[in-house]
């Protein structure tokens, strides 16, 4: 039907106008923009840094198993069960020998639904550990879901710490998201050199205060640790006086006496007590401040420190003291993070890309418009008006959903311009064919629209299928391409079947007595 009811015309115009307004509002400085929505520029256009971090959970798993070994030791002792050789095997298995008479007892303790050692996860229908019994040997390994639980909880902790560090570093509108169960995505708009953030995120920030000793100590064990600057290697006791968990606050400060930058810290009550005790008995000894397996500094204790406040000096610049304090405040990561993907675009390249994208869009648009006018004259004009409105609606929808526009996304818009006229071409060509046998223009146009419908729909759906697959499989900028391409198909269908058809019908009805229309 070529006829459009008045109400339909109003609705179409209203719909178009709303989206044209939304599209235009992107370009005017917006105090009067009542929706206050804008298209986001992707990192490749505004400049910025994209970091994908992966948690290395293996130390967490080993640590958990070590804990399990000590819990089991105590547990069996309490329950009067004799086991031998209880130990960690291959960093991923707990091993022990048992006496055959205890099998039943052990089984109940380890495999029951309310086992303390081996909790049961009803949601997964699985225990934390898989139990493997071979003659008189038992091996415990994390089950698939036990691993998932560990990964999830370490991801949650790490996410929190990453967020604190990035926020405290004063980054502008960072975007921090989980990816899978062991990855974190960090997007830092406007940052052209992510070096500082990378340094902050690359540190686990495992802080301990331990005494330097002269000889190998027996009760707690000891290890050789070198200084951060590589100047010295010393023997440090494994006994931990304080850890990062005991810190309440840490701040960079200028020491007025030495004119050095130092980091001052405040301890919680437990920490203050322990620190006081250790420093009282350890006057004259050197206390090593160890961060991630490297000694930051190792001052000699001159007098007992009882107030719960202290300071660390270690050849800091103001910047490095600030970052060190930040790491201490934000706490330790549960496991080390590795940067497995990094993409950084400088703001000048981003601006160049925007300019190039806009020029390409305008020229592509102009070429298509000129070609359509040359080919179809008055109907070309209709197709062109439709195309312009289509473009505005497309940008308007992207604005409404505050979509992220990337460089490939701009390419998607340009491609939409080239492909959007296809629907009109299909229809116009069909009308031409219909006009050969039908002298009544209105009937010819009507059947032209009807008969081309399947081809138009099929042709657009195939492109839509490609766009949808790209949306789910693609990453980052490519996703932006699939969004503009996919949304472009809907706006094209709308503009062709409502706007272009409305304009066509108005023209045909007013010129129905002309001999040749198209």
Partner 1 sequence: MKKIYFNKFYKLFNIISLFLVIVSISLLLFKGLNYGVDFKGGTLIELRTNNDQISISKLRKSFMNMKLGDVSVKQFGNKNDYLIKFEKKNNNDDMILSIKKDLTKSIGSDFNFRRVESVGPKISSELLKSGILAIFLSLTAMLFYIWIRFEWQFSLGAIIALFHDVIITLGFFSLFNLEINLSIVAAVLTIVGYSMNDTVVIYDRVRENLIKFSDIKIYDLSNTSINETLSRTIITSITTLLALVSIYIFGGEILKGFSLAMILGVIFGTYSSIFIANPVLVSLRVSQKSILKEDKD
Per CB under 8 A, the list member of 411, 483, 496, 518 interacting with partner 1 is 411
Does position 408 interact with partner 1 (CB under 8 A)? The reply is yes
Per rule CB under 8 A, count of chain residues that contact partner 1: 74
291-295: list long-range contacts, CB under 8 Å, 24+ apart. 291/203, 291/205, 291/206, 291/207, 291/228, 291/324, 291/327, 292/203, 292/204, 292/205, 292/206, 293/206, 293/225, 294/225, 294/226, 294/227, 294/228, 295/225, 295/226, 295/227, 295/228, 295/234, 295/236
Q: Which of 246, 226, 244, 245 is nearest to 236 (CA)?
A: 226
- Joined together, the tokens standing for residue 296 give 């930051």
**Residue (5 or 454) nearer to partner 1, CB:** 454
Does position 448 interact with partner 1 (CB under 8 A)? The reply is no
Does position 467 interact with partner 1 (CB under 8 A)? The reply is yes
Identify which range of 63-71, 122-130, 194-202, 219-227 contacts partner 1 by CB under 8 A. 194-202
CA angle at 429 for the pair 428 and 434, rounded to the nearest 5°: 95
Q: How far is the CB of 504 from partner 1 (least distance, A)?
A: 17
Q: What's the gap between Cα 142 and its chain centre? A: 28
**Residue (257 or 437) nearer to partner 1, CB:** 437
DSSP H or E run through 415: helix 407-437
DSSP at 231: S
Site for partner 1 in 312-351 (CB under 8 A): 337-346, 348-349
Does position 414 interact with partner 1 (CB under 8 A)? The reply is yes
Site for partner 1 in 495-514 (CB under 8 A): none
Q: How far is the CB of 49 from partner 1 (least distance, A)?
A: 9
Does position 466 interact with partner 1 (CB under 8 A)? The reply is yes
Torsion of CA 414, 416, 421, 426, to 10 degrees: 140
Residue the block writes with tokens 């080993």: 62
Q: How far is the CB of 342 from partner 1 (least distance, A)?
A: 4
Does position 197 interact with partner 1 (CB under 8 A)? The reply is no
Question: Which residues contact residue 85 at a Cβ distance below 8 angstroms, ignoring those fewer than 6 apart?
Answer: 95, 96, 97
Does position 353 interact with partner 1 (CB under 8 A)? The reply is yes
Strands 404-405, 40-41: pairing is parallel
Identify which range of 65-73, 196-204, 306-314, 501-509 contacts partner 1 by CB under 8 A. 196-204
Q: What's the gap between Cα 84 and its chain centre? A: 47
Per CB under 8 A, the list member of 259, 458, 513, 514 interacting with partner 1 is 458
Does position 485 interact with partner 1 (CB under 8 A)? The reply is yes
Contact pattern from residue 357 through residue 376 relative to partner 1, giving x for each residue in contact according to CB under 8 A and a dash for the rest: x-xxx-xx--xx--xx--x-
φ, ψ for residue 255 (rounded to 5)? Answer: -85, 120
**Residue (287 or 423) nearer to partner 1, CB:** 423
**Residue (11 or 358) nearer to partner 1, CB:** 358
Q: Which of 451, 354, 450 is nearest to 405 (CA)?
A: 354
Q: How far is the CB of 45 from partner 1 (least distance, A)?
A: 11
Residue-wise over 341-370: b if at least 16 C-beta within 10 A, else e? eeebbeeeebeebbeebeeebeebbeebbe
Q: How far is the CB of 254 from partner 1 (least distance, A)?
A: 27
**Residue (283 or 461) nearer to partner 1, CB:** 461
Per CB under 8 A, the list member of 407, 483, 487, 508 interacting with partner 1 is 407
DSSP H or E run through 60: helix 58-78
- 3-state SS, residue 28: coil
Q: Which residues pair with 265 in a beta bridge?
A: 250, 310
Per CB under 8 A, the list member of 211, 445, 481, 494 interacting with partner 1 is 481
Per CB under 8 A, the list member of 77, 144, 199, 377 interacting with partner 1 is 199
Site for partner 1 in 26-85 (CB under 8 A): 44, 52, 54
Per CB under 8 A, the list member of 433, 442, 506, 517 interacting with partner 1 is 433
Per CB under 8 A, the list member of 393, 394, 405, 417 interacting with partner 1 is 417
């Amino acid at each position: 039907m070529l006829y459009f009811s008045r109400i339909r015309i109003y609705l179409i115009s209203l719909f178009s106008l709303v989206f044209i307004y939304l599209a235009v509002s992107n370009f005017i400085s917006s105090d009067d923009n009542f929706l206050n929505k804008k298209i986001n520029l992707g990192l490749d256009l505004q400049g910025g840094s994209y970091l994908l971090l992966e948690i290395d959970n293996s130390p967490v798993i080993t640590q958990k198993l070590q804990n399990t070994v000590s819990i089991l030791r105590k547990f069996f002792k309490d329950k009067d069960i004799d086991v031998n050789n209880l130990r960690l095997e291959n960093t991923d298995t707990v091993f022990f020998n048992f006496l055959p008479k205890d099998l039943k007892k052990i089984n109940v303790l380890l495999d029951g639904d309310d086992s303390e050692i081996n909790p049961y996860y009803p949601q997964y229908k699985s225990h934390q550990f898989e139990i493997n019994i071979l003659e008189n040997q038992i091996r415990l390994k994390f089950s698939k879901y036990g691993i998932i639980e560990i990964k999830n909880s370490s991801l949650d902790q790490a996410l929190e710490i990453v967020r604190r560090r990035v926020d405290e570093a004063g980054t502008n509108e960072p975007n921090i998201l989980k990816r899978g169960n062991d990855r974190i995505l960090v997007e830092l708009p406007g940052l052209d050199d992510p070096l500082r953030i990378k340094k902050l995120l690359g540190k686990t920030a495992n802080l301990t205060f331990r005494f330097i000793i002269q000889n190998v100590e027996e009760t707690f064990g000891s290890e050789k640790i070198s200084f951060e600057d590589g100047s010295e290697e010393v023997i440090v006791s494994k006994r931990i006086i304080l850890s990062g968990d005991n810190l309440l606050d840490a701040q960079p400060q200028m020491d007025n006496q030495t004119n050095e930058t130092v980091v001052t810290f405040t301890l919680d009550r437990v920490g203050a007590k322990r620190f006081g005790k250790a420093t009282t008995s350890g006057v004259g000894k050197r206390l090593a401040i160890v961060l991630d397996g490297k000694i930051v500094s190792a001052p000699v204790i001159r007098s007992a420190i009882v107030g719960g406040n202290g300071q660390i000096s270690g050849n800091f610049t103001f910047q490095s003291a600030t970052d060190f304090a930040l790491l201490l405040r934000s706490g330790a990561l549960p496991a080390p993070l590795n940067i497995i993907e990094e993409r950084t675009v400088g703001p000048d390249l981003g601006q160049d890309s925007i300019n190039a994208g806009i020029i390409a869009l305008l020229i592509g648009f102009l070429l298509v418009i000129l070609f359509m006018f040359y080919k179809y004259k008055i109907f070309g004009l209709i197709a062109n008006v439709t195309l312009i409105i289509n473009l505005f609606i497309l940008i308007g929808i992207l604005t409404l959903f505050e979509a992220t526009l990337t460089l490939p996304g701009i390419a998607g818009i340009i491609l939409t311009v080239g492909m959007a006229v296809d629907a009109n071409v299909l229809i116009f060509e069909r009308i031409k064919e219909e006009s050969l046998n039908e002298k009544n223009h209105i009937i010819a146009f009507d059947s032209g629209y009807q008969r081309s419908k399947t081809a138009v729909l099929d042709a657009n759906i195939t492109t839509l299928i490609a766009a949808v697959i790209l949306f789910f499989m693609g990453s980052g900028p490519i996703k932006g391409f699939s969004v503009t391409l996919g949304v472009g198909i809907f706006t094209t269908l709308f503009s062709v079947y409502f706007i272009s058809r409305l304009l066509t019908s108005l023209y045909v009805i007013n010129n129905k007595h002309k001999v040749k229309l198209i």
